[in-house]
Structure 1
Amino acid sequence: MAAPSAEQQNGQSDESDLQSPISIKYEDSETESGEGALPDYVVELIEKEIGVDLKSLKKVSALLEKLTAENKLLEEQVLTVSSSVPLRVSAALSAAEESRVSLEGLLQRERVLSNTLIQHLQGAQPWADSLGRTLEQLDNTEKHMKYLQCLSRIEELSDSIQQCLITNSIWEAVVAVGSMASLDVGLKQSGCSHLQAFLRETLCFWHKIIKDRLAGDFEELLIQLHWPFISPPTQSLSPPANAQELHSQLELLVAQLLSLQTSDDLISETSVSRVGLPPTTPLSLPVQIMLLPLSKRFRYHFTGNRQTNSLNKPEWFLTQVLMWMGNSSNFMEEKIQPILDRNGANVNAKVELCRGLLTLAQEKLALDAPRLLYDDSLFCHLVDEILQFERELRTTHSYPSTLPGVLHVLLEEVVLQKWLTVERKMAIEKVDAMLSAEGAWSSQYKDISDMDELKAPDCAETFMTLLLVITDRYRALPCPRAQLRFLALQRELVDDFRIRLTQVMKEESRNPLGSRYCAILNAANYISTVLGDWGDNVFFLQLQQSAVALGEEELLGPLGVTESGRLASLEGSLFEGLLGLLERLRGDMLGRLLEAVMRDVQKKAQPYCRDRWLSLPSQCDQATMSLSSLACPLMLCLRDHLLQLQQMLCLPLFQMGWQDLAERLDLFLYQNVILYNHFNEGGAAQLQFDMTRNLFPLFGHYCKRPENFFKHVKEACVILCLNVGSALLLRDVLRQAEEDKEEPGTPDGKQPSPTSALNELGVYRLAPCDVLILLNLRASWPGK
């Protein structure tokens, strides 16, 4: 066959090229440089429009025409945009130029107007000055007119009051005085000091006249109503004949006095608060007049050289004030309170009377307290009487907690510091006395088992009672900062008592099994328990919040952000530091106690440790198993000590003690009996019998599963008492595991793990290496 021509060859090559355009693309991209390669989007377009079908080649001309038209359209758009840009820029420049010219014109007009305005103002200035002087004269004239109007109004009201008094029109006079008082209030910001002074003098003049007249009538009426009630009022069989008239007069006079309240408050507003008390609203005017006879009686009996005015008997005047409150309460509630309510006076008649009587007591206490600072006994008596008075005032007489009582007298710095000093001194003296007492280290409830769970010695219980009494004394103080100072004193006393316990403990440390040593341990535990309860008490939690808010470094110490946050969130406690020290003392003492017990137990256990475990008869050769004779001293010693600890230690300490003792005994028997000896079958059986049937039941009185506290001994007995086959299998598993550890490349196969093998036998505490040691202590192996 003839060879194909060159044209045919070219056509075939073209056909193959058209049939595989993708391969062409990749071949070109691999063989040619980046300049000759077709872009990806061109290749995708050809594949989409033509594909690999030769019949689709007729689409090439249409595709070419389409692309040419699109290209031409794009060129026209570019040319159009290019030609329009200069036109837009030119228009913008023209607009900017026009704006500049317009702005310059506006600026020129502004300069012209400004010059014209300045000239106009300069010309009008003389007129403005003249007008200002005229307006100033008018303003002054207006002020003078208002001043004269005020004077006229004052004279008018004064004449009106005078006329009302002449005609005995008290109500109209009272209303006029009220208007004058309102005018006085309105002139406060005026700055007219002379006018204010004149008005105030006029107001005081008429107020005094009307008040004296009303007060005289009111006092006469009160006398007819048997006021004041010095003794408890008696219920009369029949009301007086003029009872209705007296009640009408009482209502009228109380209403008129209430109308004078505003002017009375203005006149008395310059009075300062007494004895460091916070400022309070003035007393109601009727109550002020009702207090006058009581005030006279109080000053007559409790001032000057009267026998009833005794520094060492503050309870006399305090009790008298409480009696007057109680005797007058019914009259104030039944007679005065309804009148106050009908006249819109938002006051409580009984509370108002109590406030007035408290003023007498406060003034008397403020005078007496500094005179008693140098006599501790009298000062303590005064503090006790004040606290008792405050309690009765708040409870029996329902005095509102929002109003101050008499405790503010104790918050004066000198008085408060003296109180703290006396509390510290007396507390230390009492602690010295209680520690040196004969029964200081014995419990007063030792014969009553139900009440003696904590077995607290008398000195510890008395000490905590002392702290509780201090808390009750300062609990009612209205100042958190003062309360925190007392709390700091309590913490100081607790720490001092802890140091004393430590000193006595060191003296008794030679005999840690003695009763006094155990009593000291019980005392530390008792104080720690009570302080823990106090840390959850609402009162101390509130003090904790106050300490964080006030930043009391003396009480809290230098705290970081974390510690302050814990205290603020109530996670910590103000007693944490003391509890930590007491816990350390308790742990140290309990450790010494258990060490003494263990020394005695170890001494008794020495023969048992050296028993002939390798040559004991097997269980089959004995009729019945019994406790080893060498174990009897050990068991008796352990039993006696457990009974002794149970009798001398409180329940929480005994629980801790026997558990710690069991763990110590477990390690001792494991190390000195089991690991120290070899065991035949009889020896292992005897050991297991001694432990499970004799030792463990000793502790079975205190828990259900005592063997859980002897895990070393219990598991060692399990290993030593395994039958020979199980022991061989277990030894092989453990040895294989050790070999696998030494040669990590060795395949594990299906060999069980040592841990699972031990767990199947009930061994969880002992490690595989320890079990191997125990297996080597067995004497009953095949071939031996």
Structure 2
Amino acid sequence: MSPPRPQPASASLRGFLDAHFTSAEDLAAAPALAELLRRECAGLEASLGRLEAQLASASASWQTRSGEARSGLRRIRSRGLDVAVKDEGEGTAPGVELPAIVREIQRIDTIRLYAEATLQLEALVGNLEDATFSIVRQASKINLSAVLRRASDGVEKQEKLLRAVDAVRDIERELVRISTSRPQWTNLIVAVDSRVDKTLAILRPQALTDYRGLLAALGWPPSLSSPDMEKDKYSQVPNPLVLMNEANKEKYSESFLALCALQHVQANREVRQCQMPAAAPSLSDLKYFDKTACFDNGLWAIDELVHPIVSRMEYHFSKWSEQPEFIFALVYKITKDFMDGVDDILQPLIDQARLVGLSAKESWVTGMVKMLLGYLETQVFPTLFTSYHSTVDKLEAHSSWLHLNDQMITFDKRMQLLADSGIQKIALISEGLSRSLSVFSIYSGHSDWLQIWADIELNSAQHKLKSEMEDEASWLYRTDPQDELGHQKSAAKFLLSTREDYKAPPVSEFVVKTASTMIERSHALPSKGMKIQFTRSTSIQFLNDFFVVLHERCQALQLSNTALEDESLLIASYAINAARYCEYVLWEWDEDTAFMEMGAHEKYGNANNEQIHKRSAQHQCSFFADEIAFLVKLGTNFLEQIMSSILIEFEDLSWDYVQNIGSSNEQNHSDDEFLDEENTEVSPGFVASLDVLRERTTKLKLYLNSKDFLDLWRSMAEGLDYFIYSSIRWGEVKFSGPGVIQLRVDTKALLRIFRPYCSRPEAFFPFVTDSLKLLTMRETDAQYFLEALKNGKDNDNCLRLHGLHHVDASQAVKVLRSKMTLA
């Protein structure tokens, strides 16, 4: 077997040997080199051993920590329920157990606080229930007719009622604290509210019963008539509240204050309940966020003054079913007769009860209005509704409904005056009180009744408008005969504000006044939504119907190549004036605060409204945006059609003339230019068109309002300028000196038509004016100017230096080439 073949040395080894053994003499140092190499290898092996030991120690430490972490995670997942249980052989982890211990302590403390709060609320609710049941038991033993004779019993009952009110107040204070600091204790709050509500459902009727008994003992309600009325002498009905002696007045005051205190704590409860996160939708209505808003429907103590009067008044109401004005008159009389007594006796008590912002007069008026609303809702309106749908005589049903609403508007205003004669209302609650005082709140729950009223108002207005429109004189504006004959020159007015300024026919003023009347009637409605519904169904619909009629009358304008008829021009002009006047009125109405609020309500309050109109940066909530846009389009479109018709008529009459401008048969004169221009007459082919244009312009000045006429004649002038300039075959025809003079004479005749309306009408004929400047240039100047334009250097500046601001270089070259001298 052959010995193993030696492996070839690596490059690094060969390099090492070559470095240490360069010659044969270096072999003697081989033993020393070998010893050095052995020592270095031993040191390296020792270092490797130390590193292996450190790795083993770090691995063991990591495994220990991993086990501790795993154990800690298991304990965290168990939510600390087995803190005391530990696995044998596992190390403790105090840093992981401490949070669980803290949470457990907090849970125990929360249970303790919950139990304390429950016990405290239980005691407070128990006090309330004890006081309530004590009042009920005592009431069953007392003869209500002897309330005044047994003063001690009455005083004791008032004290118990006040203790019950104090108990409710304490409960509310605790519930507010809990809902603020512990909002998660909802079940506890709901449970307490349930028990308190049940108790108050017993306490309030009993308190009202005792209050009614006291009123009856005082002689309330009084008789609705006085002895003097039987002798046809008017006098106020005697008020028992004013006639009370001091002892009875003190008893009544205590009872009134106790009832107000009970209503006040009830109001606090409603405010707190609506602010709870889990409040019912009915309680989360915005009106409950204001404590005083809970009194919008009146004070219980004053409502109880009204209720006994109802039965006596309804006896009279039943006799006046066909005469609602008597019903409203009686309610107003009774309200007014007792107003002073109510204010003198009850207002100090309301102030003493600290019901800030509430007025005894307003509460008294509110109670009387509520009483009337109940009767109207159950007895009057259902009869009208049935009559409206079943009767054959619609006119009678409409008349009855309108008469009733007229009486309601008058009654509302009179009652509002009575209410406003009390203390000043706080701004935050004035809207709510006004809403309660309105008898038109009957429509809040009956939108079908409101729509019937709107339909009746619209039908009545449309019937009146139809009669007005049948008279053709209503469509004509009476002009000054002197203006028509031209004997009197009046300055044009451009700040138009009246129907006369707009030259609008009388029918437009009738429409505006009728729509305004319906809008004023809508102001009686108590809410913006109802106002919008009524206004959209009445005045807006009425205006839109009239605007359609205006559009139809404008369409009478004959837009053909034949001559315009004066009658159709007059009809269309006055219809445009009526549209402009109505547009102005709508802009004025849009500036009113009420319409700005209704426009904002439609935009932001109605989530289903997709049509949001914007007028400008200041008027993004226009209420009449659609109607104004329609009128603007109507006026603009038909003014453009009038202008187009006049231009077409002018073009037809002057076509042969403009085609022959500059032809040789018109240039056979060689007289001096100035003499020719002074004595030359207008071209015969141009006279007829100028006469018709003058007649049309004069008529339009007489018919149209000054603003539209200004825009119209300026647009006409620009159209005529373009027509004449573009009709001349520049560069093909050759103008001689007399031809240029003839063109200047004809142009001056055209400008003379517009001179009464402007001192420099040539400014509105820029192309014809620039062309005449070029044609009348001296021959040397024209030749030099033509060469300059052909070079094409700074043409714009060159044109401006010669006073030419509208024609460009190419157009100027064509005009200059039309001069016969430059041919």
Aligned in 2, Cα 1:622/1:181: closer, same or farther, shift over 3 Å? closer
Check if 1:544 corresponds to 2:595.
no
Instruction: Tell me the CA shift for residue 453 of structure 1.
Output: 1.4
Map of 1:709-748 to 2, 5 A cutoff?
709-737=764-792
Aligned in 2, Cα 1:99/1:227: closer, same or farther, shift over 3 Å? farther
Verify the 8 A CA contact 2:751 2:762 in the aligned structure 1.
yes
Deviation per CA, 1:309-334, whole angstroms, max 9, x where unpaired? 133x3232223333444444333334
Partner SS state of residue 615, structure 1: coil
Letter in 2 for 1:439: A
Which of 86, 89, 96 aligns to 1:110? It is 86
Map of 1:615-634 to 2, 5 A cutoff?
615-620=668-673, 622=675, 625-626=678-679, 628-630=681-683, 634=689
Map of 1:337-736 to 2, 5 A cutoff?
337-346=347-356, 347-366=358-377, 367-373=379-385, 374=388, 375-395=397-417, 397-398=419-420, 400-403=430-433, 404=436, 405-411=438-444, 412-443=446-477, 452-489=500-537, 490-509=539-558, 511-514=564-567, 515-551=570-606, 570-571=619-620, 573-602=622-651, 605=654, 609=658, 610=660, 613-620=666-673, 622=675, 625-626=678-679, 628-630=681-683, 634-672=689-727, 675=730, 678-692=734-748, 694-736=749-791
Letter in 1 for 2:258: S
Q: CA–CA distance in 2 between the matches of 1:584 and 1:324?
A: 56
Q: CA–CA distance in 1 between the matches of 2:252 and 2:441?
A: 35
Q: Which residue of 2 aligns with 1:122?
A: none
Q: CA–CA distance in 1 between the matches of 2:549 and 2:761?
A: 37
Q: CA–CA distance in 2 between the matches of 1:413 and 1:84?
A: 96
Aligned in 2, Cα 1:408/1:207: closer, same or farther, shift over 3 Å? closer
Verify the 8 A CA contact 1:177 1:207 in the aligned structure 2.
no
**What are structure 2's unaligned runs of at least 5 residues?**
1-43, 76-83, 91-117, 173-188, 270-281, 288-292, 389-396, 422-429, 484-489, 491-497
Instruction: Tell me the CA shift for residue 721 of structure 1.
Output: 0.5
Which of 147, 151, 155 aligns to 1:168? It is 151
Partner SS state of residue 472, structure 2: coil
Aligned in 2, Cα 1:775/1:396: closer, same or farther, shift over 3 Å? farther
Letter in 1 for 2:313: F
Verify the 8 A CA contact 2:586 2:624 in the aligned structure 1.
yes
Q: CA–CA distance in 1 between the matches of 2:70 and 2:305?
A: 88
Deviation per CA, 1:20-45, whole angstroms, max 9, x where unpaired? xxxxxxxxxxxxxxxxxxxxxxxxxx
Instruction: Tell me the CA shift for residue 414 of structure 1.
Output: 1.9
Verify the 8 A CA contact 2:207 2:259 in the aligned structure 1.
no
Q: Which residue of 2 aligns with 1:35?
A: none
Q: CA–CA distance in 2 between the matches of 1:572 and 1:342?
A: 45
TM normalised by structure 2 equals 0.65
**What are structure 1's unaligned runs of at least 5 residues?**
1-77, 115-138, 237-242, 738-751
Partner SS state of residue 770, structure 2: helix
Q: Which residue of 1 aligns with 2:7?
A: none
Letter in 1 for 2:770: E
Verify the 8 A CA contact 2:677 2:742 in the aligned structure 1.
no
Q: Which residue of 2 aligns with 1:774?
A: 815
Instruction: Tell me the CA shift for residue 380 of structure 1.
Output: 1.8
Q: Which residue of 1 aligns with 2:34?
A: none
Q: CA–CA distance in 2 between the matches of 1:298 and 1:518?
A: 60
Instruction: Tell me the CA shift for residue 356 of structure 1.
Output: 1.2
Q: CA–CA distance in 1 between the matches of 2:691 and 2:234?
A: 75
- Superposition CA RMSD, Å: 5.3
Q: CA–CA distance in 2 between the matches of 1:528 and 1:153?
A: 67
Aligned in 2, Cα 1:623/1:591: closer, same or farther, shift over 3 Å? closer
Map of 1:292-371 to 2, 5 A cutoff?
294-303=309-318, 306=319, 309-311=320-322, 313-346=323-356, 347-366=358-377, 367-371=379-383
Verify the 8 A CA contact 1:454 1:522 in the aligned structure 2.
yes
Letter in 1 for 2:321: S
Deviation per CA, 1:228-276, whole angstroms, max 9, x where unpaired? 9x9987899xxxxxx998467535523333224456899999xx99xxx
Aligned in 2, Cα 1:151/1:758: closer, same or farther, shift over 3 Å? closer
Aligned in 2, Cα 1:342/1:730: closer, same or farther, shift over 3 Å? same
Instruction: Tell me the CA shift for residue 378 of structure 1.
Output: 1.0
Verify the 8 A CA contact 2:700 2:709 in the aligned structure 1.
yes
Q: CA–CA distance in 2 between the matches of 1:596 and 1:148?
A: 93
Q: Percent identity?
A: 17
Deviation per CA, 1:160-196, whole angstroms, max 9, x where unpaired? 9979978522333321243356668979977999999
Verify the 8 A CA contact 1:158 1:202 in the aligned structure 2.
no
Q: CA–CA distance in 2 between the matches of 1:336 and 1:227?
A: 27
Deviation per CA, 1:95-136, whole angstroms, max 9, x where unpaired? 33565798999999824699xxxxxxxxxxxxxxxxxxxxxx
Q: CA–CA distance in 2 between the matches of 1:153 and 1:294?
A: 29
Q: CA–CA distance in 2 between the matches of 1:318 and 1:714?
A: 76
Verify the 8 A CA contact 2:408 2:440 in the aligned structure 1.
yes
Aligned in 2, Cα 1:332/1:697: closer, same or farther, shift over 3 Å? farther
543-552 or 651-660: bigger deviation: 543-552
Letter in 2 for 1:663: E
Partner SS state of residue 503, structure 2: coil
Partner SS state of residue 622, structure 1: helix
Verify the 8 A CA contact 1:154 1:180 in the aligned structure 2.
no
Instruction: Tell me the CA shift for residue 79 of structure 1.
Output: 13
Q: Which has more radius of gyration?
A: 1
How many residues are aligned here? Answer: 645
Instruction: Tell me the CA shift for residue 760 of structure 1.
Output: 1.2
TM normalised by structure 1 equals 0.68
Q: CA–CA distance in 2 between the matches of 1:417 and 1:153?
A: 48
768-777 or 162-171: bigger deviation: 162-171
Instruction: Tell me the CA shift for residue 358 of structure 1.
Output: 0.5
Q: CA–CA distance in 1 between the matches of 2:244 and 2:542?
A: 66
Q: CA–CA distance in 2 between the matches of 1:176 and 1:226?
A: 42
Q: Which residue of 2 aligns with 1:136?
A: none
